Amino acid sequence: MASLKELKNRINSVNSTKKITKAMQMVAAAKLRKAQDAAEAARPYAERMAAVMANLSTAMSGPDAPRLLVGTGKDDVRLLVVASADRGLCGGFNTNIVRMARERIAALTSEGKTVKILTVGKKGYEQLKRLHKDKIVDHMELKDVKKIDGAVAAQIGDKITALFEAGAFDVCEVISSEFVSVISQKPRAQTLIPARDAIDESVERPDLAGAIYEYEPDEEEILAELLPRYINTVILSALLENAAGEMGAKMAAMDSATRNAGELIDKLNLEYNRTRQAKITKELIEIISGAEAV
């Protein structure tokens, strides 16, 4: 049985932990609202961008079509962009993303495809490098990024585009988290390149009803400008969804940790009082026994 001093020290320690987890919960709750608003505000823009791309790409085919739109015509090498958080203490948020990435790697490898990985976020990199360090071609951390915006997405998009133009891969997928609610975030995989496949997955192509559109400038020039912007938009949306999901998961995890700490403190206080009572009772018995002996 632990001594009274040991129990008192443990109660104080758990109390300190409870204060920390409560503070982290409040900070996450404050950040969540802003991150959620940013993620939800980005969705209409991403959807509208995909709709415009679907309209433009309808008439584009053949050798003149941009490679970012139609791909290389092969599917031998896959690049997986795994976006996670830089920090932990957010429940299974990072683990769920990495689990999907590992399952995807295993499935693609079993099909005989070569897999390459670009990680965004420290936690995803740390978990994936244990088994797939040889597949990681680049890595970016977000710890020094003060705000997730178009510039950050463009930096990642430029890396992906440069790898594609260098012939490093044929198809690119983004694995990240989708923010559903404060207590629900689910990992998802999105095709990024070729953009036509991504558009086919997310947007129903418009029915032109026989109408013919004329563009000025032509479709090729417009797509040359919009395709990199579309890639950056998808990446930005994934990062914003991740940020909201991370704060939601952290708030839920810290709330659970705070409640568990409170329950442990109650148990330790009960044990402390029982031990103290037993010690007092023992001392009284010894005093009475000594008095009777005299």
Q: Which position has the token pair 């206080």?
A: 269
Residue 56 DSSP class: H
Q: In angstroms, rounded to a whole number, what is the distance separating the alpha carbons of residues 187 and 8?
A: 43
Query: What is the identity of the amino acid at 61?
Result: S
Active site residue 90: yes
Reduced to 3 states (helix: H, G, I; strand: E, B; else coil), residue 211 is coil
> Residue 136 in contact with residue 117, Cβ under 8 Å?
yes
Q: In angstroms, rounded to a whole number, what is the distance separating the alpha carbons of residues 244 and 247?
A: 5
The answer to whether the peptide bond before residue 206 is cis (omega within 30 degrees of 0) is no
Q: In angstroms, rounded to a whole number, what is the distance separating the alpha carbons of residues 79 and 115?
A: 6
The one catalytic residue among 85, 90, 231, 268:
90
> Residue 268 in contact with residue 14, Cβ under 8 Å?
yes
Q: Which residues are marked as active site?
A: 90
